[in-house]
Structure 1
């Protein structure tokens, strides 16, 4: 999701040494895991590097970098000021590249990945402007407020599940706001690796926020023209605060969302704006690189646009917000200008296509919503029951989901807490078991 994180949330770009300097890189085609399990790994996947003890942080046992050589993957657009670049240890894991091609991905392995008592492995898929490290293993990696609360824990769902015998893995995407159809192909790649390594037929998927889009697109065979269809290898799909019914938060509250984004206002958060122009401190400026819709030859937030759906017919629009009308419906407002939500939906929302494609009946789906709109430092979604960003009714929407295993709302969790809140973790563990 846009996540709406404030500058205080700690999302800052950090430098790291390259993998070559560390001298801990191994490379080659993925053949050893296949030989170990008797399975065959896809020929289009190459294992480029492995990082283990002494290099990997946040409680993971190892991190691997893979490349999918399928024609069609590309390097997506990144904002020029670096706000969307890979940061921290991820730069190391991506071989010193801060803007990798979307055909590359990271596969994280938790302690117990090869000894856990649970048969079906679990693949965790993080959301927008996030990483597998912060999302699942160390919610406090970004400091206070980065996890949705004033203070953040140092362990997350990875440790919770691993400690209960689950074989836990996580995928790390090359682009934090990338195209969900390409990322769905990466989810399929990660599953293919796990099947080859562990000799299993099926995997359980947990998709948080934007991660719901790629996991659901994978099992629904919603794909690029060059992509591969679902391989029938998912047992259970669990969504955490996923916009199953879409979301319109960036458009519904005027320019309130923009102050943490627009550079002239001091904004640095890596999230899209519903506007192309805005006035900050008396200066009217254009920032097409931050636009939700393609603008000025730039398109840096396709994954956000794909999650959009209109909710004005259900919950209205925040009429008390500055430029509320033109922000939602398009045009020149008092301080801002933009094309409106419908233009963005028309430019590539995936909500309707996902519903139409449908989750296979063989995949039991579970939906978890947060019920607390109390994310510190942002303007929370307040037009109806929400987790601060996604409406509860959207997170629990089952259109196109024929086999629902369960639905639940964690009243004490906001959108950024769903990956580590104790009640949420216990619910996920129950569904997996």
Structure 2
């Protein structure tokens, strides 16, 4: 994986070829933990005109409408006043080729519900695994460009030092592979965002708290030490996508830089915290990243249509709160989440967590108020009847296996960073039209004939 990106755009090829240069294991350079972050500069990306209107089809569990519900609740709580709000640009084909193959991107650009059964596309549907889980729907290509653009824009804001945290709740589609769609995901905006971060940062940590394994992101960076991927997820019982065993640790230069924490049904806040905190503290101590990317899939909440965990919204947000305490540039993305009222509750609470704002449990009036009945509360309450199959012994065993893998690392890897090229969207400011031009200004050769 990782070859064939567009010339000039950071692709996985160069990422994988960069050799490691070790730092001393005891070094804590760049790692600062704080219990209170103070005033964060936060930027937020959403297109209210289009994002909520995309439709996967009747009966499909993925509903982009949840993003409009989230945005509306953020507006109702007046959180928008405390952050910079942007409409994301549509990611270009050139940007998507940073990870995806030209054939796949071209297919997404040209296929429509009307032509998908024509001979030209029928075979490609199977080749690129587009069909039932990942249907062709109206506006598919622009949908991919829109959510991917938000993640790229967020990473660029962080790189430029214009924000401490960038939020794109429409992103986080972690299953997409280089040449195929998977698990409701078409373009892997996370990989595209991390590739942007790698232009400025030697090491990026990716954390995934979706109930499903973050297989697409792990696969993209499986052979490099530039990105450490950490995923907490349900594993076993043929649960999708079927990957993410604790023994899957990476290969070649990336060996031991993939961390998987497989969990069982019914995990609650207490059990999740018991394994999350020590694992992430050890990861941060060993890897010492200079930037974070956090995928906040809300299908790990209690009561999700496709999930099997038993977390409250507060327990979910506490994971993000812990990562923010390291005070590193952080790209925060959405992901799964199929009980739409709980998705909106969770991501609104996490937006407030990023902003260090306390919200009233009683929901303010908003355009989707009736969705939140009968309690009309911000809380997502765990089920008292759901059995937690994650025993203390099991969690301790998983933790020890993860720690054993991390002990194999000889300290944080380093690379020789080179001059960073200008971003594609960078615009050079024009000079003052009334000012005298510099004496060395270029002259057209046709101006001076003998």
TM over 0.5: no
- TM-score, length of structure 2 as denominator length: 0.31
TM-score, normalised to structure 1, is 0.32
Larger Rg: 2
In proportion to residue count, which structure has more helix? Answer: 2
Q: Which has the higher contact order (CA 8 A, sep 6+)?
A: 2
Higher relative strand content: 1
